Structure 1
Amino acid sequence: MSLELGFLALRSPLLSFEAFLWAVLLVGTVAFWFSPGGIAWARFRSKASFAIPGPLGFPFLGLLTVFTGSTPHRTLAKLAKTLNAVKLMAFSVGCTRFVISSDPETARDILNNSAFADRPVKESAYELLFHRAMGFAPYGDYWRDLRRISSTHLFSPKRIAGFEGLRREIGIKMVEEIKCSMESKGEVFIRRVLHLGSLSSVMATVFGKRYDFENPGLEGLQLEELVSEGYELFGIFNWSDHFPLLGLLDFQGVRKRCRNLASKVNVFVGNIIEEHALKRVNGGLEDDGNKVGDFVDVLLDLEKHEKLNNSDMIAVLWEMIFRGTDTVAILLEWILARIVLHPEIQAKAQAEIDAVVEGSKQVSDSDIHNMPYLQAIVKETLRVHPPGPLLSWARLAIHDVHVGDRLVPAGTTAMVNMWAITHNEDVWEDAVKFRPERFMEEVSVMGSDLRLAPFGSGRRVCPGKAMGLATVHLWLAQLLKGF
């Protein structure tokens, strides 16, 4: 007994010292991980120029909970305001470094800087072929070729004008569908009607296929399934993107599902390309009354250095379908929801339309220029409900670069919180109020003015914005005139 007591007496100081060392190590580690920016910023903290303000994160996980929530743009806007980091805020998710700006001037510096010409390509984007399409292709010669093809061939003013008849026809069909539904059921599922109209437009523009509202056919149903699953996979928070070791496991099954979907896309789009190619071999293109060919025809007509191989053509066409299917539909749904809440706005817009388009005459693209209030409604909706308010603005720093007086290291993902900018009272008077009249006074806001840039800015601006706006304006005018 005495020997045991003596042994414990000798050990107790040693045990206390070990406990002290472990406590110091634990406190130091926690303090290190919880410091602004998170663990992903660890090796840059010793440099004063990297001291970008940021929130405290969980050890190793960083600010993980932001992207697992449904409104990350609101959460990050609140954090930036609380930390006085509106211009630039640093945080991390696992091993991924982020900076985010909620300030229009800083946003312009980021989006127009060649150092941020790349996009961060998460696993789902890569596996779904988008790394070979314009949205995520690395900045370089291939990306520049795609950009030139888009602006010169796919989205030129002549081609957009050439599709006016198609847009008008689909708009008329949507009005008829809504009226039939109201007469037979007393209600209408407007989201479905807008989705089918948008899908029909994209199918005709990209593939030259027509989509019947009542009988979509096998191809229409297949395309809906492909796009729907693509949206789901693209929107999943994939742990492998931020914790590389987990990428070996694919425990969420994202990689497996993406590869399975990509194989279906290759078959679906590949078959349509083959159909177009065979049509040329067997007698050329048939005149179907359309003055412009679809996007498949355009890509097949490319010559010499602009010519794309089959795999790249599939990736480009798939991206057009994926990005175009619901973008217009979602914006129109927000517009209709807003004018239902504000009947005085609806009445004013309808009066404007009636003054421009009399009687039973159909609305045309040329009429839209005489409808400034309708255009203002679209702009105000884009301000209040910016599409892709956060993640669609992500850029990747190619090399170390200064943003203001802060140094952002290479490999950092830079984001612009467009929702925070458009809801900032210092940027927009009565920011929370839906008031289209503000754009009657200030019409030239969109573009390089980062107070409102729903389609992006700089090198990565959306190439299809002109066609998208032409479609939204025409369909909105048709819907308001029809009801």
Structure 2
Amino acid sequence: MESCDAALPYTLIGLVLRQPSPPHRGAASCPSRFLRDYASRATNTLLWICLISVTSLLCRRLARLVRLWVQGSRIPGPPSNPFLGRSKLIPGCGSLGSLTGYLAELHEKYGPIVRLWLSPTQLLVSVKDTMLIKEVLIKAEDKLPLTGRAFHLAFGRSSLFVSSFEKVQKRRESLAEYMNGRISVRANIIPSEIVECVMGRVDTIMAKGTLDCGLVSQQLAFYILGSTLFGDAFLDWPKASIYEKLLITISKDGCFWASYTIPPFWSREYWKYKHMCKRLKHLTEDIIQHCVEKYDLLSKIGHSSYKDNKDIEDEARFNDSILLDNMPSGVLLQEEMAEYLTSKEELCGNILGLMFHGCLATSSLISSILTRLALHPELQQKLYAEIIAVQEKTCKLDSDDVQKMNLLMATVYESARLLPAGPLLQRCSLEHDIYLCSGVNVPAGAIMVVPLQLVQMDSYIWGKDAGRFNPLRFLSEATDHIGTHKKYEDFEKTAFLSEPKRKAAFLPFGYGTRACIGEKFATLGISTLIASLLQNYEIKLQPGSENDPKPIMSDCLLQQLLSSPEVVFTKRSKRKTWKSKGSS
């Protein structure tokens, strides 16, 4: 009699096709033994497949890591082991007291491009030469993955702010075209209303005592971005103050919670942070609904009141239109963006991203300008005279009028040069190596940075007074006197504004494919806002406040680079004010 083991089929098909055999001892246990054997073999097969897959994945990652080590070692830099910790790699942090200071010492020793190991898997490549900077910023199109994780955790899914440039290219181009097309309109109607709204808050704070320059700059930036995105409805939105506090708080803590590879579900603080993020999204949906309802109401009123006069109707609609006015129909930017706007989560993420990035950069620049004006009263008087001179020739303030204020524009550029939004301009290439004309090959995944403080305060590029505040360097005659600190009394002789983009070292808004799409909006919008402020107020330092605030650089992404002095806004005597286009 053949044994049960010998007759046991090895496949399920074999069991089905097996011919019946006469019963024998132990036959009853054959099916159960077969099923156990079949399950064991299937389990072993799955385990082998998993083992081979994981091994293959680890081998690929190891090969990529070894390749990173080999190619990274060919870039000039300090003799260090990738396995050393960052604290051992940066012993003294240089004279500037941060990573920027250490990079300054490395560039001094190794040349315009240096590498630094932050960890076994993180290679940092710093570039200081202006020609190499342009090449790097053009070829390196991606953002760091950590930045994307922090953004997604704080604000949710977004189709505008992701690491891969390929995924956001069309949307960035559409948004840039749309914003630049609206600049002339927004410059006409926003600043006076923002000044009136925020200065009401300023007067309230001044009545209680002192006024922090950073606080008023943050509120100005917040209302500039809010009114641009949501229209005039944002200025009277009752929840704006809560929205501002939540946005700033969430932004500051985003990088910390995103640094966890596994979300810390056990932490009570983490769940508090998630709750704040959820509340911020609900407030975003609330203001969207609020401004859409107001726009619909104004449109109906305008249609019924001016249906016999198309020009007046169009003017009414134009003045009350907002960046999100066409949101329900999905025609915000271009037709290719209609699909992603149908997702409420992506819409909130995109809006919060614009608010966050815009407020961070705009607030920093406004604070720098106000501080410089308080520290240089003679410049403030020249700016006021320039504003009044332009005002006497026009009854309305538009972007063309602002661009005629050369000293004002130069002041904005110089403030941006001395106080960039962050210490390092960061880029990377996630998929491809970067081959530079100098012969250096930067491997994919390496963090490429431009130390902005070093480049924008380089005496070889900007002259001997590179570390001093001198707006006249951006005026035509001043370009022939680089290195000399000219007096503002000579301003009349320097009537032409020198285009800052001609200088490769002027990088406060970035460069290349990932440059800030709101650069033109920021410079013209902030210039218009400062003109409105100076027309109505004189800015002075609070008695006893610090007279020479110094930049405070750190390695944190979110930071205040300039200590914020206490200032006083003194109202000027009444003069005629600008009128918006179309007003009588």
Q: Do the two structures share a fold, i.e. TM-score over 0.5? A: yes
Task: State the partner residue of 1:152.
Answer: 177
**Equivalent-residue separation in structure 2 for 1:281 and 1:338 (angstroms):** 43
Return the match for 1:463 from 517, 525, 531. 517
Task: State the partner residue of 1:431.
Answer: 466
- With over 3 angstroms needed to count, the CA separation of the structure-2 counterparts of 1:75 and 1:477, relative to structure 1, is same
Q: Percent identity?
A: 18
Return the match for 1:52 from 76, 88, 94. 76
- With over 3 angstroms needed to count, the CA separation of the structure-2 counterparts of 1:237 and 1:209, relative to structure 1, is same
* Deviation, structure 1 residue 146: 1.2
Secondary structure (helix, strand or coil) at the match of 2:475 reads helix
* Deviation, structure 1 residue 356: 2.2
**Equivalent-residue separation in structure 2 for 1:370 and 1:280 (angstroms):** 33
- With over 3 angstroms needed to count, the CA separation of the structure-2 counterparts of 1:359 and 1:291, relative to structure 1, is closer
For residues 216-227 of structure 1, the aligned pairs below 5 Å read: 218-227=238-247
**Equivalent-residue separation in structure 1 for 2:407 and 2:512 (angstroms):** 28
Return the match for 1:422 from 446, 451, 456. 456
Task: State the partner residue of 1:78.
Answer: 104
Which one-letter code corresponds to 1:323 in the other structure? H
**Equivalent-residue separation in structure 2 for 1:469 and 1:322 (angstroms):** 18
* Deviation, structure 1 residue 217: 6.0
Secondary structure (helix, strand or coil) at the match of 1:91 reads strand
Task: State the partner residue of 1:98.
Answer: 124
* Deviation, structure 1 residue 222: 2.8
- With over 3 angstroms needed to count, the CA separation of the structure-2 counterparts of 1:160 and 1:150, relative to structure 1, is farther
After superposition, the C-alpha distances for 1:192-235 in whole angstroms (9 at most, x for unaligned) are 333223222222221236456xxx76521331132112221235
Secondary structure (helix, strand or coil) at the match of 2:462 reads coil
Contact 2:89–2:117 (Cα < 8 Å) also in 1: no
Secondary structure (helix, strand or coil) at the match of 2:211 reads coil
Q: Give the stretch that moved more between structures: 117-126 or 186-195.
A: 186-195
> In the alignment, does 2:211 pair up with 1:199?
no
For residues 259-278 of structure 1, the aligned pairs below 5 Å read: 259-275=274-290
Return the match for 1:314 from 332, 348, 361. 348
- With over 3 angstroms needed to count, the CA separation of the structure-2 counterparts of 1:58 and 1:157, relative to structure 1, is same
- With over 3 angstroms needed to count, the CA separation of the structure-2 counterparts of 1:136 and 1:449, relative to structure 1, is farther
Contact 1:205–1:295 (Cα < 8 Å) also in 2: yes
**Equivalent-residue separation in structure 2 for 1:204 and 1:65 (angstroms):** 46
Which one-letter code corresponds to 1:199 in the other structure? F
Question: Where do 5+ consecutive residues of structure 1 fail to align?
Answer: 1-39
Question: Where do 5+ consecutive residues of structure 2 fail to align?
Answer: 1-63, 303-315, 480-496, 539-584
After superposition, the C-alpha distances for 1:17-64 in whole angstroms (9 at most, x for unaligned) are xxxxxxxxxxxxxxxxxxxxxxx9765444597333147479542358
Question: What is the count of residue pairs matched by the alignment?
Answer: 428
* Deviation, structure 1 residue 131: 6.1
Task: State the partner residue of 1:230.
Answer: 250
Q: Give the stretch that moved more between structures: 322-331 or 158-167.
A: 158-167
Task: State the partner residue of 1:26.
Answer: none
Q: Compute the TM-score of the two structures, normalised by the length of structure 1.
A: 0.76
Contact 1:375–1:473 (Cα < 8 Å) also in 2: yes
Which one-letter code corresponds to 1:233 in the other structure? D
For residues 71-470 of structure 1, the aligned pairs below 5 Å read: 72=98, 74-93=100-119, 95-113=121-139, 116-122=140-146, 123-129=149-155, 132-140=158-166, 142-153=167-178, 155-158=179-182, 160-162=184-186, 164-174=188-198, 178=202, 184=207, 187-208=210-231, 210=233, 218-236=238-256, 239-240=259-260, 247=262, 259-275=274-290, 287=302, 291=319, 293-303=321-331, 305-307=336-338, 308=341, 309-358=343-392, 364-390=398-424, 392-403=425-436, 404-429=438-463, 430-441=465-476, 442=479, 443-447=497-501, 449-470=503-524
**Equivalent-residue separation in structure 2 for 1:254 and 1:395 (angstroms):** 32
After superposition, the C-alpha distances for 1:132-165 in whole angstroms (9 at most, x for unaligned) are 242335222x412312330233x03235524521
Secondary structure (helix, strand or coil) at the match of 1:132 reads coil
**Equivalent-residue separation in structure 2 for 1:128 and 1:172 (angstroms):** 32
Secondary structure (helix, strand or coil) at the match of 1:351 reads helix
**Equivalent-residue separation in structure 2 for 1:64 and 1:147 (angstroms):** 40
- With over 3 angstroms needed to count, the CA separation of the structure-2 counterparts of 1:177 and 1:276, relative to structure 1, is closer
Task: State the partner residue of 2:305.
Answer: none
After superposition, the C-alpha distances for 1:385-434 in whole angstroms (9 at most, x for unaligned) are 111231x5333343122133111111112111121101111221021121
Q: Give the stretch that moved more between structures: 165-174 or 98-107.
A: 165-174
- With over 3 angstroms needed to count, the CA separation of the structure-2 counterparts of 1:370 and 1:87, relative to structure 1, is same
Secondary structure (helix, strand or coil) at the match of 2:460 reads coil
* Deviation, structure 1 residue 325: 2.5
* Deviation, structure 1 residue 331: 1.0
**Equivalent-residue separation in structure 1 for 2:99 and 2:498 (angstroms):** 26
Secondary structure (helix, strand or coil) at the match of 1:100 reads strand
Q: Give the stretch that moved more between structures: 365-374 or 275-284.
A: 275-284
**Equivalent-residue separation in structure 2 for 1:275 and 1:366 (angstroms):** 32
**Equivalent-residue separation in structure 1 for 2:88 and 2:268 (angstroms):** 19
Task: State the partner residue of 1:481.
Answer: 535
Contact 2:112–2:129 (Cα < 8 Å) also in 1: yes
- With over 3 angstroms needed to count, the CA separation of the structure-2 counterparts of 1:93 and 1:327, relative to structure 1, is same
Secondary structure (helix, strand or coil) at the match of 2:113 reads coil
- With over 3 angstroms needed to count, the CA separation of the structure-2 counterparts of 1:368 and 1:402, relative to structure 1, is same
Alignment RMSD? 3.7
- With over 3 angstroms needed to count, the CA separation of the structure-2 counterparts of 1:207 and 1:452, relative to structure 1, is same
Which one-letter code corresponds to 1:379 in the other structure? Y
Q: Compute the TM-score of the two structures, normalised by the length of structure 2.
A: 0.64
Secondary structure (helix, strand or coil) at the match of 1:416 reads strand
**Equivalent-residue separation in structure 2 for 1:156 and 1:285 (angstroms):** 28
* Deviation, structure 1 residue 276: 5.8
**Equivalent-residue separation in structure 1 for 2:387 and 2:249 (angstroms):** 38
Secondary structure (helix, strand or coil) at the match of 1:463 reads coil
